[in-house]
Each structure stands twice: as C-alpha cells, then as structure tokens.
C-alpha cells in the first residue's frame, strides 16, 4: 500500500479557515493510508515542519495542498521556482522579497506527480480541474520548491508535488467577496482522485495542457 502524506496550510491573510487543511484533514479521516498534517503559513517554519512530517510518516508519496483564492478549479502544479517574493506578510509577520527558497539551489523543480493524468481523474470525479504552470511566489511555492528539494537531496525514492484549491463557500460568504468557490467535500474528492492516480502512475499521459500566454 502506498503511504501518502498530505499537508494543508493554516489560515492566513485574515481568513479564519483554509480549505487546503479542511480538505486534507477530511481526506485523512476517510483513509487509513493518508497521513494529514497542517503546516504553518510561515516562511521560517513551514519547511522544517514539512521535513519533520516526512521523517515521521515515511511516505511513498507527498502531496502538499494550498489555497489559491480566485481560481475556480483544483489545479495540480507543474513547476516550482527558487524564488520568494511575498505580496503580504506571513502569519509571523515576515515578508521576504526577491530571495531564493534554497541558496544556490536549482532555478526550478518539476513535480514528480503525473499531473495531467491527475487532472483527468479529478474531472472524472466530477470536480473541475486543470494543470497550473505557476505556484506563485508566496509560502505555497516555497513549500513546493522546498518539498522537491528535500525529496531530491534527503528522501530519495519518494515522489511528490503540490496542488492549489479554490476558496471554500464559507470563506466567500463570510467576506462577501465575489469569487469562485468549491465545497470542502468536493475538494477532498479531488485530492482522493489525485492521490489514487499518483499512487498508481509514475509516468504521465501525453495530452496537451499548454497555455497560449
């Protein structure tokens, strides 16, 4: 059985909930083979917490999940860049600008998840999904890049990647914002489809997921 570690983030930016953690914890409650861990939304603390979680759970597969407000779909990420450029402070008040995630690290890492196959599986589960080619430059990208660097250097043989999820309906209702949202149970369904697909496939399918811009 593939042991899957899934992480979500604590709320940030004035929010009271984070759908990434809500969905990850819901999936962890469903599945004995999924370990759910909440990461702090803090530049200094997120990667040490991730390292501890990998060392503790010894997974075969790691999927980190984050909130991408404004997106309408579940979006597995394809590439992480070695850059932090924070638009807002993190939960500890830090706001690093134009610094690398890993000093002298590679410019970027590609996911080792079959993201195109995962998108098809998520859509088959009835949840909107697409491949994303940017994880931003905030804590989500830092964790994605840091994860891939950890797997390349300290945890050989473990595969991993990152996926962004939309706001939850309760976030949209509480703020009065006009933004796309997706129910937490549906996000958990998407993450389950992703985890099952990534556990079975090491090579991605050959279909187009490119963009024109």
Is the distance from CB of 60 to CB of 158 less than 8 angstroms?
A: yes
Is the distance from CB of 126 to CB of 33 less than 8 angstroms?
A: no
**Residue 70 backbone class (left: φ over 0; alpha: ψ -120 to 50; beta: rest):** left
Per the document, the length of the chain is 213
Report the b/e string of 19-56 with b at 16+ CB within 10 A. Answer: bbbbbbbbbbeebebbbbbbbbbbbebbbebbeebbee
Report, as residue numbers or ranges, the catalytic residues. 77, 140, 164
Q: Cα–Cα distance between 67 and 54 in angstroms, integer?
A: 21
- Is residue 146 helix, strand or coil? helix
Of 38, 1, 43, 33, nearest in space to 20 by CA: 38
Q: Cα–Cα distance between 201 and 118 in angstroms, integer?
A: 9
């Amino acid at each position: 059985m593939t042991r899957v570690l899934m992480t979500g983030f604590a709320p940030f930016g004035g929010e009271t909930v984070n759908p990434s953690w809500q969905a990850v914890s819901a999936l962890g409650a469903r599945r004995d083979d999924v370990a759910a861990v909440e990461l702090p939304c803090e530049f200094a603390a997120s990667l040490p917490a991730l390292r501890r979680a990998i060392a503790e759970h010894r997974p075969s597969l790691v999927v980190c999940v984050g909130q991408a407000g404004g997106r309408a779909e579940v979006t597995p990420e394809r590439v992480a860049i070695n850059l932090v450029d924070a638009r807002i402070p993190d939960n500890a008040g830090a706001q690093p600008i134009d610094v690398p995630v890993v000093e002298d690290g590679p410019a970027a890492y590609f996911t080792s998840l079959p993201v195109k196959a995962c998108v098809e599986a998520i859509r088959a589960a009835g949840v909107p999904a697409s491949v994303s080619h940017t994880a931003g430059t905030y804590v989500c990208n830092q964790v994605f890049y840091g994860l891939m660097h950890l797997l390349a250097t300290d945890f050989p043989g473990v595969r991993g990647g990152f996926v962004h999820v939309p706001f939850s309906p309760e976030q949209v209702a509480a703020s009065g914002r006009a933004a796309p949202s997706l129910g937490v149970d549906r996000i958990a369904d998407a993450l389950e489809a992703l985890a099952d697909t990534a556990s079975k496939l090491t090579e991605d399918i050959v279909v187009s997921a490119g963009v024109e811009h």
